Amino acid sequence: MLDLILERREPIARELYAALRQQILQGAMLPGMAISEAPVAEQLKVSRTPVREVFRRLADEGLLEIRPQIGTFVAPIRLPAVHDGQFVRETLECRTVRMAAEISISADRTRLAEQIEIQRRAVVSRDELAFFRSDEVLHCELTRMAGRPAVWNVIQDVKLQLDRVRYLSFSSQDWLEMLLAEHEHLVECVLAGDAEGAEAVMREHLRTVFAAIERLLNSKPEFFTPRR
């Protein structure tokens, strides 16, 4: 049975959507896992109607596969979407981090240093979820520093499949340590006003996802759509 704990402060469909989406992104629900409306509705003590709506929405986003007369399953990771998401991130974030380095102020030092410290503690305690949350905050903060906070919303919309790869790769301790070192170098460049260095570090940092893809393709090929 799924571990679904909803606060019931919002419409059930909205909370269920957020909960299932997060479980798929974080790898708690792995590609190929079967999920059906009736058990979910029974567990939540609701009708199947909102559950069906949520399943359809997640299917539209490429996170579930609904196979008529067969069942509903967590969808495999779509490699073309992963590459598209990485392309958008690299294009936008390399530009914004350059801007952030050009205009950073002393107040930014505290905010960035706080996230680096959170990540250090997360690496020591092997708390992958805490690291991921701080990773998101750090990248969001850099776009804010550049004066382009709405850019992060654009990035969020296109990196859904990319995030699935990122979460799965976070289960490796050496991977977390590598990402932390890259974040530390990136922040150093930004705070030093080194725009060219910050852009170069960001580009290299974002391209590490390709190595993550290869690692996962070798160890868990069933998690992905077939290569074309």
Q: Which CATH architecture has domain 79-223?
A: Up-down Bundle (1.20)
Residues in the chain: 228
What is the number of other CB atoms lying within 10 angstroms of the CB of residue 89?
20
Domain locations in the chain?
Answer: 12-74, 79-223
Cβ-proximal residues to 23 (8 Å cutoff; 6+ apart), any chain:
2, 3, 29
Type and span of the H or E element at 126 = none
Residue 224 is given by DSSP the state: B
Cβ-proximal residues to 21 (8 Å cutoff; 6+ apart), any chain:
58, 61, 63
Long-range Cβ contact pairs of 68-75 (< 8 A, separation 24 or more): 71/34, 71/36, 72/34, 72/35, 72/36, 72/37, 73/32, 73/33, 73/34, 73/35, 74/24, 74/29, 74/30, 74/31, 74/32, 74/33, 74/35, 75/31
For the domain covering 12-74, report its CATH number.
1.10.10.10
∠ CA 199-204-207 to the nearest 5 degrees?
125
pLDDT in tens, the chain (228 residues): 566 666 567 677 888 888 899 889 988 899 999 999 988 888 877 888 989 999 999 999 999 999 998 999 999 999 999 999 999 999 999 999 999 999 988 888 899 999 999 999 999 999 998 999 999 999 999 999 999 999 999 999 899 999 999 888 877 788 899 999 999 999 999 999 999 999 999 999 999 999 989 988 998 898 998 765
Cβ-proximal residues to 175 (8 Å cutoff; 6+ apart), any chain:
169, 212
Neighbouring-strand partners of residue 77: 224
pTM of the model: 0.86
> Would you say the CATH fold of 79-223 matches that of 12-74?
no
∠ CA 192-198-204 to the nearest 5 degrees?
150
